[in-house]
Structure 1
């Protein structure tokens, strides 16, 4: 990348906000019949940030605006310290983008495709070849890199799209639904790659998904959109705080769970069945003893096996139940 801005584009600022990768202020996109983004204020930092919302929540619209490919109706945003309205080209030189939809030429190999895009990004021919080989190896396409991509499986195509987003060594990558269409095993592999990019490679990641469980697994921070509005933005750990509920699994003959629940209630522990588990509300316990001791002693008195005792945690899905109109799938 050169040090000078293209003709007609103001020089980029030399200082960017510390720890901030993306900032939006009142960002709005109004199509008339549809309000895709509604006064969106978010801050995205380093690491992996998950952008979650139902289809139509505004995730892809936001990415296109941040890339300078779509103009907002109102508001402003910066990416890597660069204003999207003034520095679109400079932003795109430093950002990688993996689109959701099919974009691969079927008669071209992954090696030729990624190498071509590396050279288009400004890398010299020798450096482009070297970077192409490295990135295809990182995404798991080293052995298949010379095959035409039309014969690739869905998982391989997603890896090829990821490779082209990384080949120019960006500071930030936008990954739009990278697990779309993948089977569970391929989905796990892709999520592992996403986590490595953000944590091992040191590249900031904004990854979108409509599957809540995926973002809980790999994201440091989660931004939840609902119909173009910000529902919540916080560290993933804040979503997963303890609820004050203990989950108990007991083993034994038929009726063991019911007997255990009745005995715990009699001992002053409010409880209820939760599938094959017993949920105990520790915040409303009326016993003076330690709750864990009561559970252990009750199981011993009944002669039942205590298979599991763990704290229940909130999930990202709970945010939708509490404050949004949509409940998204978890897997």
Structure 2
């Protein structure tokens, strides 16, 4: 089922076109929206929420027209903004209850839903502390809680891992997956960290300069390549020995095509199953340790290869 559809959606400002005839269809599930700063992601979210009118084209969210049914859309959609927008002097419980009431829940239901959702995001024990005393990760969880408290059909999460350390990012990504798997809520999540989208999303939409670059399943974008990634250790007691160069030479002698892909990863063209045996024998003959031998996957960042400036801004953040 489509949760978001746009048809020739265009948004122009006096000196810039933020969205340029964007036509895309987003199915239910966990969908990633990626693009460089200025690509049009935030503008698209504002239009989808009915907060900003489009210049041209149409868009529908959960079957509702964004131009005429913005109020109904916001009743059914949760939104987690990117920037810190939480009042520091109120507790998480007070804030989330308030947001639940703003979404139309009665007082009793709002309190019950708040307790449930704060438990879900891991803040139940800290729910009566002022938000101003929270860490960045806890504040992000409060923003997620208020987006979920009214039991929406769809949530829009704008850079939900912003400012988090690696452990905090993993925890947040796990919560996002559970939003869909346990509650059946569809998710549209924006992120500059493409590795997060590869691990979290079922489908990825890539935009640049307000235009659609690609929309396809994550599995298609990260399909296996015809290359093996090989990583080996240096030879013990011989720090001057270049294991990568020696391995390349051995593989070349065996008639294989291989290169070094930055760092210490040797890429070998996979022409048949016998390639595995050749690599194994070469590693054993050289007396080095085998750290990794796996078939390489494409990365979402390769979508941006046609635009090096965008690739540098997005893929390496």
Structure 1 CA distance for aligned equivalents of residues 102 and 286 of structure 2 = 72
Unaligned runs of 5+ in 2: 236-240
SS of 1:188 mapped into structure 2: helix
In the TM superposition, residue 323 of structure 1 has moved relative to its aligned partner by 4.8
Cα shift at 1:228? 1.1
Unaligned 5+ runs, structure 1: 1-18
Query: Which whole-Å CA distance do the structure 2 matches of 1:154 and 1:199 have between them?
Result: 25
**Could you tell me how far apart the structure 1 residues matched to 2:183 and 2:42 are?**
24
User: TM-score if structure 2 supplies the norm length?
Assistant: 0.93
What SS does the corresponding residue of 2:22 show, helix, strand or coil? Answer: strand
Moved more, 165-174 or 251-260: 251-260
User: Residue 118 of structure 1 aligns to a residue in which SS?
Assistant: helix
Match of 2:76 in 1: 94
Q: Stretches of 4+ moved more than 6 A in 1?
A: none
Q: 2:167 aligns with which of 185, 191, 202?
A: 185
1:57-136 correspondence runs (5 A): 57-136=39-118
Higher helix residue share:
2
Alpha-carbon distance in structure 2 between the residues aligned to 1:172 and 1:111 = 22
Question: CA offset at residue 60 of structure 1?
Answer: 0.8
SS of 1:135 mapped into structure 2? helix
CA distance in 2, matches of 1:207, 1:261: 41
> Residues 326 and 298 of structure 1: is their aligned pair in 2 closer, same or farther, counting only changes over 3 Å?
same
Q: Is the 8 A contact 1:226 1:324 kept in 2?
A: no
Alignment counterpart, residue 205 of structure 2, candidates 199, 216, 223: 223
TM-score (norm 1): 0.89
* Equivalence for 1:144: 126
Number of residues of Structure 1 aligned to a counterpart in Structure 2: 309
Contact 1:224–1:231 (8 Å) recurs in 2? yes
Distance 1:289 1:210, change over 3 A: closer
RMSD of equivalent CA atoms = 1.6
State how far apart, in whole Å, the 2-side matches of 1:211 and 1:263 are: 37
Aligned match of 1:280: 268
